[in-house]
Amino acid sequence: MRAFHGRKADKAESSVAARQVVGRVLGIETSCDETGVAVYDADRGLLAHRLYSQIALHESFGGVVPELASRDHIRKLSPLVKEVLAAADSSPEDIDAVAYTQGPGLVGALMVGACFGRALAYGWGVPALGVHHMEGHLLAPMLETDRPEFPFIALLVSGGHTQLVRVDGVGQYKMLGESLDDAAGEAFDKAAKMLELGYPGGPKLAALAAQGRRDRFDFPRPMVNRPGLDFSFSGLKTYPLNTVAACREAGELSDQDKADIAAAFQDAVVSTLVIKCRRALQQEGLTRLVIAGGVSANTQLREALAAEMQKLRGRVYYPRPEFCTDNGAMIAYAGFCRLRAGIQDDLGIRVRPRWPMTELEGVA
Ligand code: KG4
Ligand code: ZN
């Protein structure tokens, strides 16, 4: 650890010092198309958070344009940090450490958050830490008052990941299963594109599915008849694709057809996720389940898991809806857990667009 030259150089000098002083953390999230900033306090919990979504920026392109995402993060970070500090009734002197998303994600977008976060920490003379985005998602339910105790099973379902993880503590992760191809969120987004719903596809498909009938089309539940906890959602998209084509061939693709296809598709994804969650809980002999990541905002998934957990006499925990998708609060909290334990980075600025979560070190 090299020396810091700032007001709080004494705080940042060593990890031992950091262990004693980290009470309030500024968190920065810029891994994809959302700029999130938050302040988490050891005693008072989450003090403030702000999120700026780039949906309007990317909408006309039908998906995230990485270069535009990076530029927009640059534009929004500084005003958001000022806004969050004011909302948290904090000045830079009150911040003990900075946490930023180091990966996985879009390399340019990550670089913006890493450079900004690292520079802020240097200027303020406090430690900084690059946080794993999926660990942020995984720990997001800890921001709620009704939080799960360890150990639990976590289902992480986002645009880039579908993972079942046994969680014995912060950083103590055993990967039980994951998607061999498309992530659940990615599958939602691709099916939404086939139905011409635009970006972001997942929430739009879910809204349309609520108007549809689940039983008109029968889509398969991939890999449920094989043992194990891996997923495969890539082949499933053939079904909405072929059904859209069949409807068009038979005349036209009506709004009701679209809604019924959306409902059948969502039903297939949700059932698959529920079956694998049940299997993971039974395999590990656990009764607590955490669902996090963008797809955990899906109402049908929440309802299906609640019903399943009742049968299993277990409990399911979620982040509040705004912390299911990307946000700064989860990064502030995950960073806090590690910084408080004395873990911090050197002054180098590094990002990891691909970063297996199992490489993280455990926190005592
Ligand atoms: O966690 P997240 O915000 O970003 C990543 O880390 O990827 O997840 C975004 C993903 C997208 O694929 C989006 O379509 C999906 O989560 N998503 C949903 C819903 N809300 C977001 N999928 C299904 N139903 C939803 N309500
Ligand atoms: Zn995410």
In this structure, are residues 97 and 131 in contact, taking their beta carbons and an 8 Å threshold?
no
CA–CA dist 278, 258 (Å, integer): 30
The ligand 1 atom at the shortest distance from the C-alpha of residue 184 is: 12
Give Cβ neighbours of residue 214 (< 8 Å, ≥ 6 apart). Answer: 263, 264, 266, 267
Write the burial class of residue 83 (CB in 10 Å: 0-12 exposed, 13-18 middle, 19+ buried).
Answer: middle
**DSSP annotation string for 235-262:** GGGHHHHHHHHHHHHTS---HHHHHHHH
**128 Cβ inside 6 Å of ligand 1:** no
Counting from 1 in the atom list of ligand 1, the atom nearest the Cα of 297 is 26
pLDDT recorded at residue 364: 81
Find out whether the peptide bond into 227 is cis, omega within 30 degrees of 0: no
Reference 302, options 338, 266, 329, 331; nearest CA is 266
Nearest CA to ligand 1 atom 26: 298
Q: Residue 20 has what pLDDT?
A: 53
Which ligand sits nearest to residue 204's alpha carbon?
A: 1
Q: What residues does the ion ligand 2 have nearby, CB within 5 Å?
A: 158, 326
Q: Residue 20 C-alpha to ligand 2 middle, in angstroms?
A: 30
Best mutation site among 32, 133, 295 for ligand 1, i.e. most ligand atoms within 8 A of its Cβ? Answer: 295
Which residues is 32 bridged to in the sheet? none
Give the residue, by CA position, lying nearest to ligand 1 atom 13.
Answer: 202
C-alpha 206 to ligand 2 mean position (Å): 18
In whole angstroms, give the CA distance from residue 57 to residue 73.
Answer: 12
* CA trace torsion 324, 40, 53, 258 (10° rounding): 10
Q: How far is the CA of 189 from the centre of ligand 1 (A)?
A: 8
pLDDT in tens, the chain (364 residues): 333 344 454 544 444 444 457 999 999 999 999 999 999 999 999 999 999 999 999 999 999 999 999 999 999 999 999 999 999 999 999 999 999 999 999 999 999 999 999 999 999 999 999 999 999 999 999 999 999 999 999 999 999 999 999 999 999 999 999 999 999 999 999 999 999 999 899 999 999 999 999 999 999 999 999 999 999 999 999 999 999 999 999 999 999 999 999 999 999 999 999 999 999 999 999 999 999 999 999 999 999 999 999 999 999 999 999 999 999 999 999 999 999 999 999 999 999 999 999 999 999 8
Q: What pLDDT, on a 0 to 100 scale, did the predictor assign at position 21? A: 76
**Would you say 19 and 134 are in contact if contact means Cβ atoms under 8 Å apart?**
no
Euclidean distance between CA atoms 226 and 218, whole angstroms: 19
pLDDT at 15: 44
